[in-house]
Amino acid sequence: MELRSGRESDVDNWKEVNLIYNSALKQISTKLQILNDEFQHVHRYNPIEHIKSRMKTSESIVKKLKRHGYESTIENMIQYVNDIAGIRVICSFTSDIYQIAEMLGNQSDIKVISIKDYINNPKPSGYKSYHMLVTVPVYLSDRIVDTKVEIQIRTVAMDFWASLEHKINYKFERNVPVHIKNELIECSKMISELDKRMLSLNEEVQAIGLESE
């Protein structure tokens, strides 16, 4: 991403960064909504339960830069912080996650930079989600800006677990007691089993529906 030359202050630059990243979020959100609508039209089924988007606060960005030993500059924010703009896609079933990821990856104007599959390879904490780092072109009046967006795709159950883990980490300032960590890991295993059983049940219902047509 390149900022306009001739800016008078970091405030102006930060406003421009916000404008560009918010525009990127709108584009990705619209793409997801269109894919969901198309899926309903073709398959009579919506894979996406809901979509959440957020911009990382300047305070959080500065903390992340300091944690990794970088100076707090606009340029470093753009270069080293990949989740300034983030979208979370909540699905019903695990199979939906990979379908959505594939459909997004097939969009001609989206470039996939990296993928982290924490579903097949969960974090030691038990965290599961599918992460995509992509760039999408933002069309401004005088240029096109390829802008990074982090996309997290997970089931409702995975999102419930991740939300609770986040609250616990915040409360204990990441110094979570061992027995609570272990309980979270066990809950993660239970959620994985629930997702598998719900997917199997849904596939059985879909198959019965096809037979009756």
DSSP 158-202: HHHHHHHHHHHHHHTTT---HHHHHHHHHHHHHHHHHHHHHHHHH
- Segment 42-54, tens digit of pLDDT: 878 889 999 999 9
pTM: 0.89
Mean pLDDT of the region 150-160: 97
Distance set, CA 4 to CA 7, 74, 140 (Å): 7, 12, 11
- Whether the predicted pLDDT of 170 surpasses 90: no
- Domain formed by 10-156, architecture: 2-Layer Sandwich (3.30)
Indicate the helix (H) or strand (E) that contains 148.
strand 144-155
Structure confidence at residue 210 (pLDDT): 62
Task: From 33, 46, 121, 131, select the one nearest 91 (Cα to Cα).
Answer: 46
Token pair of 204 as six digits: 């059985």
pLDDT of residue 127: 96
Average pLDDT (100-104) is: 95
Size (the chain), residues: 213
Is 203 among the catalytic positions? no
Contact 128, 119 (CB under 8 A): yes
pLDDT tens, position by position, 73-99 = 888 999 999 999 999 999 999 999 999
pLDDT higher than 80, residue 66: yes
The torsion angle over the Cα atoms of residues 150, 36, 49 and 138, rounded to 10 degrees, is 30
Please give the radius of gyration of the chain, using alpha carbons only, rounded to the nearest integer.
Answer: 20
pLDDT at 8 over 60: no
Low-confidence winner among 5-9, 16-20, 63-67 (lowest mean pLDDT)? 5-9
Q: Where are the domains of the chain?
A: 10-156
CA 193: distance to chain centroid?
Answer: 23
Q: What is the DSSP letter of 69?
A: T
Q: Which residue among 59, 102, 150, 173 is the active-site one?
A: 150
